[in-house]
């Protein structure tokens, strides 16, 4: 029985029932009879008096109101309040036309591109931190040649690590001269170990970051990135920048292949080959195991081993990396 919806607390309901059962009793008997402290009793009794469920003219002989009268009155009052609230909520629909007019006026007035100019290295880093935090899918990066500095690496590594641990995909293209700097080499190895996809190319490229294929960040001055950055949200421009990135990505060489070129094909068993193929298509382990005619436990053991060999932090990355490595 829940009567809180009509304004009666659990303690008040217990006191009301007590006086219905014990006609003519006084307020002073309640603490001992119900095991309640005096302050709680006083608060609940005052509530019941205001709700007209108790007649407190004589607190030594309290009279409880007939339930079919008192409770029904409270229910009706609450229904009237709810109906009034529903009418107020429905009336909010009238605002739609006003907001639509505002939107249309804004669209008519929009004569400039959605490009934000952020000046100063510190402000740029703060905006990059915000963009990385609110991204949910992937980050695409182009990094031309140095100079590389420790401050840049120290600022970038926490953001990249946080994104990878949240399950975001991170794809970056670097110039090979990055490998000549010990700090950069350590940074790239750390990213790859966490599941990032890193490639290298000697082709000329412009510095760029793209978050969830919706926001692109490019330097104000390509020759001096410390001046600031442009945050581009125009869909047409971002789309072209994504195409530019993908062209650079396809022409680049995988970091591990570049640093440790392998001449051998991966030594995969027939079952491992089948597991990799199923990982890319099956939504659930049970479905995949049934398709392979093996137990779920065995399937998961294969998956864990393959993920470790591929250096992937999740199954999506494992399947993607297997395709990039031509394992499947």
For the stretch 281-310, pLDDT in tens is 777 888 888 888 888 888 888 888 887 777
What CATH fold (topology level) applies to the domain 270-324? Arc Repressor Mutant, subunit A (1.10.10)
Model's pTM, two decimal places? 0.49
CATH topology of domain 115-259: Endonuclease; Chain A (3.30.870)
Distance (Å, whole) CA 241 – CA 249: 12
pLDDT of residue 105: 77
* Average pLDDT over all residues of the chain: 84
List strand residue ranges (DSSP E) for the chain, in order. 54-55, 63-64, 115-119, 138-143, 169-174, 197-200, 208-211, 215-219, 228-232, 253-254
Q: Where do the domains of the chain lie? A: 4-89, 115-259, 270-324
Average pLDDT on 14-18 reads 89
Using CA atoms, how far residue 170 sits from 137, 161, 196, 198, 206, in Å, is 9, 10, 5, 8, 18
pLDDT tens track for 72-104: 998 898 899 889 899 898 888 888 888 888 887
Q: Quick one: pLDDT band at residue 165, thresholds 50, 70, 90? A: confident
Looking at 3.30.9.10, 1.10.10.10, 3.90.1150.10, 3.90.380.10, the CATH number of the domain 4-89 comes to 1.10.10.10
Both tokens of 71, joined, read 């409770």
Cα separations in angstroms, 250 against 3, 53, 203, 299, 324: 66, 78, 12, 32, 10
For residue range 26-44, list pLDDT tens digits in order.
888 888 888 888 888 889 8
Q: What is the pLDDT of residues 202-225, one digit of tens each?
A: 888 888 999 999 999 999 888 777
Asked if 115-259 and 270-324 have one fold, the answer is no
Give residue 138's pLDDT: 92
């Amino acid at each position: 029985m829940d009567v809180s919806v009509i304004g009666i607390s659990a303690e008040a309901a217990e006191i009301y029932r007590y006086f219905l059962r014990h006609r003519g009793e006084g307020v002073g008997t309640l603490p001992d009879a119900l095991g309640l402290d005096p302050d709680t009793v006083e608060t609940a009794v005052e509530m019941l008096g205001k709700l007209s469920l108790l007649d407190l003219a004589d607190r030594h002989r309290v009279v409880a109101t007939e339930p079919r009268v008192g409770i029904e009155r409270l229910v009706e009052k609450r229904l009237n309040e709810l109906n009034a609230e529903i009418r107020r909520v429905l009336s909010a629909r009238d605002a739609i036309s006003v907001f639509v007019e505002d939107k249309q006026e804004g669209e008519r007035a929009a004569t400039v591109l959605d490009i934000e100019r952020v000046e100063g290295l510190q402000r740029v880093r703060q905006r990059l931190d915000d963009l990385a935090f609110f991204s949910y899918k992937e980050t695409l990066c182009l990094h031309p040649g140095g100079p590389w500095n420790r401050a840049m690496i120290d600022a970038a590594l926490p953001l990249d690590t946080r994104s990878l641990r949240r399950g975001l995909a991170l794809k970056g293209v670097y110039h090979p001269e990055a490998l000549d700097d010990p700090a950069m080499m350590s940074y790239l190895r750390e990213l790859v170990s966490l599941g990032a996809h890193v490639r290298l190319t000697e082709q000329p490229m412009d510095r760029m970051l793209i978050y969830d294929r919706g926001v692109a960040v490019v330097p104000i001055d390509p020759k001096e990135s410390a001046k600031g950055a442009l945050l581009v949200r125009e869909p047409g421009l971002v789309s072209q920048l994504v195409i530019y990135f993908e062209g650079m990505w396809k022409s680049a060489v995988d970091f591990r292949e570049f640093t440790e070129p392998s001449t051998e094909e991966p030594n995969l068993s027939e079952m491992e080959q089948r597991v990799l193929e199923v990982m890319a298509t099956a939504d659930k382990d049970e479905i995949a195991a049934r398709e392979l005619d093996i137990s779920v436990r065995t399937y998961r053991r294969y998956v864990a081993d393959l993920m470790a060999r591929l250096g992937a932090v999740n199954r999506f990355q494992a399947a993607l990396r297997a395709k990039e490595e031509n394992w499947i």
